[in-house]
Amino acid sequence: MTNYIFDLYGTLIDIHTSESKASLWKEVALLFSMNGVPYTETELRKSYLRLCKVEEGRQWDRQKKMRNGSLLKREIEFPLDRVFTGLFTEKGIEPSEEKLKLMATAFRALSTYYIRLYDGAEDLLKRLKRSGKKIYLLSNAQRIFTEPEMKMLGIYELFDGILYSSDAGVKKPSHYLFEDLFEKYGLKKEDSVMIGNEYEADILGADAFGITSMYVHTSQSGKRPEKLPDGCMEIAVIGEVF
């Protein structure tokens, strides 16, 4: 096998975040206000959730046209950059890219209880690199959150290619996300394997697309599947991939 395609959260990274965290909205509202964008805790939360619904609707319309209508609404993804931009512009302020990234990163940090690599994850990626394998990331994730986290954990530069669902406009298990990755990097199905901890998104998504997979059951996985597809192998820990 040449191409190793990884899911991120729950597979390589163990993370717990919550937008229901008690102090989150109060602290983020204070941060916005200190940066010249006045919000109360309640106003910020309502505006954020409303803008998320607006962007979801826009992305649904956009992706239906792009994908010729053969798409499920639960498979679309919109970039949260647009929501954070909206939080500024609704107050009459055009944010710089630097300020936008700062506020989004602060929001993510304040909503995070912990973030760490699973044991053996970094060693696995480095081992694959030394062996001449190609490493790709296919993640249901927001670039504006995920890129800084990967860099912080020291794994960003290990990947030969990355595709975030927020950039593609769709998320796993949609075959469109797999297709976009394979087209972007010129991958062949027979040379590729998907590694993930989510049965529906990673394993069934890969199976429907026509590639083999490896399933690792982690602390972030849902209920353990009763049966895996014929083209899927279960591994006990991430280090067993290679």
| 56-106 residue pLDDT tens | 999 999 999 998 868 899 999 999 999 999 999 999 999 999 999 999 999
- CATH fold of 3-16+114-241 reads Rossmann fold (3.40.50)
User: What pLDDT shows up at residue 161?
Assistant: 99
User: What pLDDT shows up at residue 56?
Assistant: 98
Write the DSSP symbol of residue 76.
Answer: B
Average pLDDT over residues 226-238: 98
Give residue 24's pLDDT band: very low, low, confident or very high (50, 70, 90). Answer: very high
Q: For the chain, what are the domain ranges?
A: 3-16+114-241, 19-110
Q: Which long-range contacts (CB under 8 A, 24 or more apart) does 90-98 make?
A: 90/47, 91/37, 91/38, 91/39, 93/36, 93/37
User: What pLDDT shows up at residue 206?
Assistant: 99
Residue 207 structure tokens? 């199976």
Give residue 133's pLDDT band: very low, low, confident or very high (50, 70, 90). Answer: very high
Give residue 22's pLDDT band: very low, low, confident or very high (50, 70, 90). Answer: confident
> Nearest-CA neighbor of 161 among 127, 128, 186?
186
If you average pLDDT over every residue of the chain, what do you get? 97
- For residue 123, give the amino acid letter: D
The percent of residues in the chain predicted with pLDDT above 90, rounded, is 97
The percent of residues in the chain predicted with pLDDT above 70, rounded, is 100
User: What pLDDT shows up at residue 61?
Assistant: 94
Half-sphere exposure of 131 (CA within 13 A, CB side): 15
d(CA 73, CA 85): 23
135 in Cβ contact with 155 (< 8 Å): no
**pTM of the predicted protein model:** 0.96
Is pLDDT at 145 greater than 80 in this prediction? yes
Half-sphere exposure of 71 (CA within 13 A, CB side): 23
Is pLDDT at 20 greater than 80 in this prediction? yes
Give residue 27's pLDDT band: very low, low, confident or very high (50, 70, 90). Answer: very high
